[in-house]
Amino acid sequence: MNILGSLNLYANNIRYYYGFDRNSTFVRGFLKQSYKFSRLLSEKELFAIDKKFSFLSFVAMVFSVILIILYLYLIFFNFYLEIQKFPPFLFALTLTFPMFLAVVCPLFLVAQKYEAYLKTYGDYQKEKQTFRLPPNSGKNTVAGFEFHKQRIINESLIGLCVILAFTFFALFFNAIPRVSKDLIKKGNYKLALLLSDVGIKISPVSSINYGHRAVAKYYLKDYSGAASDYEMANKYSQDPVYDADLFVVKSKILTKEQLLNEYDKSINAQVDKYDKYSAIYSKANYLYSVGDYQAALNYYNELVVAYLKGEKIMFSPATLYFKRGSTYSKLGNANASQKDIKIAESMCVDCNYSKNPSVWLDYTLSMDY
């Protein structure tokens, strides 16, 4: 089988590299551009042109990757909070259009270099590249086809390696939060800290990695660093999901009066009711932990009333009843205490509140993320 007949096997799936039509040679180009020479180029010339094309393709790919990285780390991540406020369509456009330009612009630049190089082989006419080869003129060689086939294999392998590398990177990045959380549970805080650092370096807007790094810093007694990371986690999540644990950290560095003032600011700043109730719940837990049981009971009562009215709350109502029952117990009201604890245990049979009360009552990190 001659080269053009063989190439037709690939024509419907892979762009052609070069072809012949009577006394003309067609050479592939960038951006669906092809070039028609009014003479038959030799195999040596075609091999050199193909080598140049592959080199410039590699250069364009490298520049595209560099431009994408620069855009992400110098612009997108730095203005992420502002960009996140955009409508969904505009947000997607802000992310994808610069990346499209980062791919196309280097191709335009290397195309200019490529055309200047092709002129060393004589004059040519630009034509729109198609996915069909010119008619067979009989000027074909098996060697040319073998070279073309090898080039297809090489570029396919490169493409496969890129896809595999990207897949591995994505799996690695997605595994970081899970692995760091497991390391924290095992008490390996330093390694969890290092792993979370890597996740933040890769994506400076990943709230969960900030949250896990904060936990690691907390257990390493770097309370100021932990508080700072929790604030960053809240900033990038745009939701106060880390507030409860942030206050646990702040209880290590602030006085009671200062912390209660922080709680009041947080409660007053909440727009959604369920976020406000979560802040009140956290404050009640703190007051219980420092022995201010009456003040804690007042807040627990407020939350139980909200729950009975059907208000949305983000914490377990069973645990709320158990904590209120424990507070009644501390205040000497045994009947109310037993009633609430019975309600809690009926709502959550598997929680074992009475067997492991410290698990539910200790004012410590929840790490529910």
Asked if the domains at 161-238 and 239-369 fall in one CATH topology, the answer is: yes
Where exactly are the structural domains of the chain?
3-140, 161-238, 239-369
- Tens-place pLDDT, residues 293-316: 999 999 999 999 999 999 999 899
- Tens-place pLDDT, residues 342-363: 999 999 888 888 888 888 888 8
Please report which confidence band the pLDDT of residue 369 belongs to, taking 50, 70 and 90 as the band edges: confident
Domain at 239-369: CATH code: 1.25.40
Of 284 and 7, the one with more pLDDT: 284
64-97 burial code (b ≥16 CB/10 A, e <16): beebbeebbeeebbeeeeebeeeeeeeeeebeee
In words, the CATH class of domain 161-238 is mainly alpha
- For the cut 70, the answer to whether the pLDDT of residue 247 exceeds it is yes
Give the pLDDT score at 143.
Answer: 43
Q: What is the mean pLDDT of the chain?
A: 84
148-169 burial code (b ≥16 CB/10 A, e <16): beebeeeeeeeeeeeeeeeeee
Q: pTM surpassing 0.85?
A: no
What does the pLDDT average to over 214-221? Answer: 95
Give the pLDDT score at 199.
Answer: 92
Maximum Cα–Cα distance across the chain:
105
Q: Lowest-confidence range among 38-47, 118-127, 201-210?
A: 38-47
Determine what percent of the chain is predicted with pLDDT higher than 90.
47
Please report which confidence band the pLDDT of residue 19 belongs to, taking 50, 70 and 90 as the band edges: low
Q: Is residue 37 a contact partner of residue 124, using CB atoms and an 8 Å limit? A: yes
